[in-house]
Amino acid sequence: MQTNVLEYFLKTQDRWPSKTAVTDGCEAWTFEQLGKRAASIARKIVSLTSSTNSPVAVYLPKTNEAIASFLGVLLSGNCYAPLDTKAPVARIQTILNHLDPVLIITTSELSSQLAANGVDTSRLLLVNQVHSDDGELPDRWQKLIDTDPVYIIHTSGSTGRPKGVVVNHRGVIDYIDWARDTFGIDDRCVIGNQAPLIFDNSTLDLYLCFACGATLHLIPEELFLFPVRLLEYLAEKFVNFVFWVPSVMISTADKKVLDRVTNLRLQKVLFAGEVMPAKHLNVWRSRFPGALFANLYGPTEITVDCTYYIVDRPLDDDEPVPIGRPCRNTQVLILNAENQPCKVGERGELCVRGSSLASGYWNDPTHTAGAFVQNPLNRHHPELIYRTGDSVYRNEKGEIIFVGRKDFQIKHMGYRIELGDIEHFAMQVSGIRNACVLYQFDKKQIVLVYEADRDIDPGFIRRELGRNLPKYMWPTAFHRLCELPRTANGKIDRQQLIMEYAGQTVLNGRLDSSESGTMRQIEILRGVGD
C-alpha cells in the first residue's frame, strides 16, 4: 500500500531514468537528473533542520528547479508551500508570518527582494548555491504516514490574509490514482502545463509526470498571451495532454487560430477552475473531434477535484457544461438549507466526503471548524465533510450542474478571489472612505466602487493595491460615489451597485446573464439564497 507520494517518483526514476521528465523553456531534465537534484536539495534541508512534517516555503518561478525543490522538501520529510514570486512582497510577508516555515527555498536574486522588504532572511536556503552531489538518499520521509501533509496552498481570504490549505499524502494518492485510471495516462503522455505552481491544478500535471513517467513541459508563461504562439509550442513539443483553466481555452477558442497550427496532437483536454462555456468548448471539440474533453471541478480543500464530466454528447452553445459525477472514492452531498439531501433539480450546497478532504487550514482552527464539519446525515460517529460554499443541483441524468457561489468568492482568469480581500485593502487607500468590489461576469472585470470626496487617480489606487495584492486581484474599472447606497438596515446595497456598475440587463422581467454566478450573486442579495 502506497503511503507517500514520493513512491510514485522513485519508482518512475528507476524505470525510466533517461526519459525526459521536465522542461522549463531553458533546460530539459531526465528523471534521473531531476531525482539527483532533488536528493541534493533534500540533503541540504536535512543539514539545516531536524524538523519533519513542517512547512518549507518555495519562493521560485515555475522552473525545473522548483519541481526539484518540491521533491527535495518531500524527501526531507517536510511539506512544501509554493509562494507566488509575482505577488507583492507585503503579501508574501503576511503569508510567511502566518506560515512560520522552517526554511524558505529561493534564489540569491529573489532573496535580496525579500530582504529589502524586511523579510527575515535567517531561514533562507539559496537553491542556486546548492551543489549537486552523490550522497545518500535522505530517509526521513519513510517515517511519515499518509495523513501527513504534502503541500500547503494559499488561497484568497475575505479578511486580507490568505488561507493555507493543508493537503495530505492520502488525498493526493487518492486523486492521482483516480486520474491515471480514468484518463488512461501512461508514459506516452506529454503534458503541457499551464497552471502556476501556486495553484493546485498543477498537482495533476506534476504527479501524473511522477506517477506515469509522462514528460512535463512547463510552458513559458508569456506564450499564454499569444494563442498562435502557444499552439505552435504545443505542436513543437508533441503535447497530447493539457489540463488548463477555461480562460486560456476561451482565448484560444478561435477557429482560425486552431486551424492555423496544423500538426497538433492533443488527445486529452481537461479543464477546471472556473465555468467553461459550451460555446467555446464546441469550437475546441470541432477542431479535435477524436480527443477526450473533460470538465473537472473541485476546491483546493478536497485535493484538486471531486467531480468530473467526460463530454459524451453534443452540447448546445448556451447549455451549462455539467461538472458531472463524483470522482472514485468520493461522495458528493447536495444539502439544502435544512441540511437535507436535495431532490433532482433542487439547488443546494455541494459538500464532499472522502479521503480527499484536506487536513484543514494551517494555524486557523476557526476557519477549519467552519468549513470542515460533521456530516449532518451521520449521527452515529465522527465524520467530516467539506462544505464548498458552491451552489449546485443534480439534473435528471444524475449530472451535477454548477450554479454559483453562496458568498462573494469569484473566479477570475482561473484565480479564486474573495471580493472582501480586495475591499479590505481598497479601504486602506488614502482618500477612500468606503469601498465595494463587484465582478462584472460578462466582461470579466473587477469593479471598484468607492466613497470619497474627490476622484482618485486609478493609477494611484492600483499602485496602492499593488503593495498588497497580486495583479490578478486589481480592479480595472473604477467608480466614485459621494456616498455608497445603503439598504434599510444600513448595509452597503450591493444589489443596487451590481445593477448600476456590473452591467446586468433585465429581459422579460428576468435577469439575463450567461454567467449563472451573477444571477446567484443577486439572488443572495435579494435573500432568495440560503
Name the site residues for other proteins (rule: CB under 8 A).
221-222, 224-229, 251-252, 254, 256-257, 260, 413, 443-445, 457-460, 462-463, 471-472, 476
Our CB check for other proteins shows the closer of 459 and 490 to be: 459
Cβ at position 476, least distance to other proteins in Å: 6
Alpha-carbon distance of 444 to 251, in angstroms, equals 12
Supply angle C-alpha 485, 488, 493, rounded to 5: 35
Give the nearer residue to other proteins in terms of CB position, either 85 or 368: 85
Nearby residues of 488 by Cβ (< 8 Å), 6 or more positions away: none
Cα 503 from Cα 81, distance rounded (Å): 38
> Least Å distance between CB 254 and other proteins?
3
Instruction: Give min distance, CB of 242 to other proteins, in A.
Output: 17
Q: How far is it, in rounded angstroms, from Cα 263 to Cα 243?
A: 19
Neighbours of 514 (CB within 10 A): 15
Decide whether 260 or 491 has the Cβ nearer to other proteins.
260
Closest contact distance (angstroms) between CB of 386 and other proteins is 30
Cell numbers linked to 51? 524538523
> Smallest distance from the beta carbon of 318 to other proteins, in angstroms?
20
In which residue are the cell numbers 545518500 written?
A: 136
DSSP assigned state of 320: B
8 is written with which cell numbers? 510514485
Nearer to other proteins, 99 or 245 (CB): 245
- Residue 202 one-letter amino acid: S
Tell me the DSSP string of 453-486.
SS---HHHHHHHHTTTS-GGGS-SEEEEESS--B
Closer residue to other proteins (CB): 42 or 426: 426
Nearest distance in Å: CB 199, other proteins: 14
The distance of closest approach from Cβ of residue 227 to other proteins in the complex, given in angstroms and rounded to an integer, is: 5
Contact 391, 529 (CB under 8 A): yes
User: 225 or 506: whose CB is closer to other proteins?
Assistant: 225
Minimum Å distance from CB 438 to other proteins? 16
**Cα–Cα distance for residue pair 223/219, rounded to 1 Å:** 7
The helix (run of H) or strand (run of E) holding residue 238 is none
**Distance of alpha carbon 316 from alpha carbon 289, whole angstroms:** 16
* Grid cell in block for residue 86: 509575482
CB of 167 to other proteins, least distance (A): 27
Nearer to other proteins by Cβ, of 138 and 414: the residue is 414
Shortest approach of other proteins to residue 224 CB, angstroms? 5
Considering the complex, state which of residue 179 and residue 253 has its C-beta at the smaller distance from other proteins.
Answer: 253
- Whichever of 218 and 525 has its CB closer to other proteins, that residue is 218
Residue nearer to other proteins on the CB measure, 192 or 227:
227
CB of 513 to other proteins, least distance (A): 18
- The rounded distance, in Å, linking the Cα atoms of 246 and 259 is 19
CB of 257 to other proteins, least distance (A): 4
Q: With respect to other proteins, which residue has the nearer C-beta, 216 or 250?
A: 250
Neighbours of 160 (CB within 10 A): 19
Rounded to a whole number of angstroms, the minimum distance from the CB of residue 455 to other proteins is: 11
Tell how far CA 148 is from the center of its chain: 21
Among residues 85, 92, 115, which one has the least CA distance to residue 161? 92
Distance from chain centroid for Cα 60:
17
Cα distance between residue 491 and residue 485, in whole Å: 8
Strand-pair partners of 242: 192, 269
Written as nine digits, the cell of 186 is 501512461
Which H or E run contains 276? Answer: none
Residue 277 DSSP symbol: B
Judging by DSSP bridges, how do beta strands 268-271 and 292-297 pair with one another?
Answer: parallel
Nearer to other proteins among residue 277 and residue 360 (C-beta): 277
Nearer to other proteins, 354 or 475 (CB): 475
What angle (nearest 5°) sits at the alpha carbon of residue 220, between those of residues 107 and 116?
Answer: 30
